[in-house]
Amino acid sequence: MNNTTKYYSLIIAVVVLFAMMTVSCEKSPVDKGTDETDRMIDIRTSIEALTKSPALDGNGEGNFSNGDIFTLVVSGSGFPNIDTSYTVGTTDLSWADLNLPEDAGNVYFSGCYPVQGKAVDGILTFVVSPAEKTDLLLAEAVQVGKNSEDAVSLVFKHALHKLVVKYVSDDLTDEQLSEISTSVKALSSCGIDLAKGAIQNGTASGLSEVGTMQGSQVSCFIVPQEKDNVTLEVSLGDMVRTLSVPDNDQDGRPVSMLDGGRCLTVQINVSSDKIELDGVQIEGWGQQGSVDGDIEL
């Protein structure tokens, strides 16, 4: 084959290849974007002050860590509540996954941590376990338009009340104080409206022991309730006393409710012949004051 023939053969090959590429491009139009229902839902979380949880600072503020699992609840009009386990850093959720009706308008997202049992008619019964110091974090419902590209920001708040008991003494050693036993009795259960991401008012019930602990400083979680439902049984050796939360703080203001997201700190002065309620403070998740009292053996 001479050089001229080779040259024309090369030109023909290029023309054929160009034609094939043109036909191919016409059959494969450029993707102009995904459908609205295929949009991923951007779930962003944060945790407001207090308690043990995945990644919190000294005040209890922080965020979840990858691998933490919470219940994500989607609600709105025209469809039943949708609840699913959401794993931080792993779960990918799109609007199509929710399979919402066409006429669904605004959609509400809420959350519950840790994952609980099944709800009945949207209401979950939460029971404090005396064997575990399990906090309850709830994210109140936030409104998002269907198929919206906006991020869903869930702010988890501490739903329970934290009770802290501290013992001090002028004549007992640290070792003796560490032997003090504290038994807490209180209402132990409540109802949670998962769609709202909130505890139902007036649902606290079930008076029982919510924790028995030993040490010079102990703590447990209780459901929000009136302070009159809470009693402390303190024992050291042969000394046993039952204490209640006083009616007023140090400034004379009434103390009635132990609200969720707050911390009740009871300081008790113990000596060889008496147990004295040295002061009560409610703070941390919200300042509420302090109270004094005195109980002798």
The whole-number average pLDDT for the span 24-50 is 59
Q: What is the pLDDT of residues 141-190, one digit of tens each?
A: 999 999 999 999 999 999 999 998 999 998 899 999 999 999 999 999 99
Q: What is the pLDDT of residues 226-259, one digit of tens each?
A: 999 999 999 998 889 999 987 876 667 677 899 9
The whole-number average pLDDT for the span 278-291 is 53
Classify domain 161-291 at the CATH class level: mainly beta
Domain boundaries, the chain: 36-158, 161-291
pLDDT above 70 for 87: yes
Candidates 112, 4, 137; CA nearest to 62 is: 137
Average pLDDT score, the chain: 80
List all residues 6 or more positions away from 212 whose beta carbon is below 8 Å from its beta carbon.
130, 181, 182, 183, 184
Q: What is d(CA 68, CA 111) in angstroms, rounded to the nearest whole number?
A: 13
pLDDT above 80 for 64: yes
**pLDDT band at 18; cut points 50, 70, 90:** very low
Q: What is d(CA 268, CA 245) in angstroms, rounded to the nearest whole number?
A: 12
pLDDT above 80 for 287: no
**pLDDT band at 134; cut points 50, 70, 90:** confident
**pLDDT band at 34; cut points 50, 70, 90:** low
CATH of domain 36-158: 2.60.40.2680
Check for a shared fold between 36-158 and 161-291. Answer: yes
- Looking at residue 5, its pLDDT comes to 46
The percentage of residues in the chain with a pLDDT greater than 90, rounded to a whole number, is 48
* Ramachandran angles phi, psi of 18, nearest 5°: -65, -40
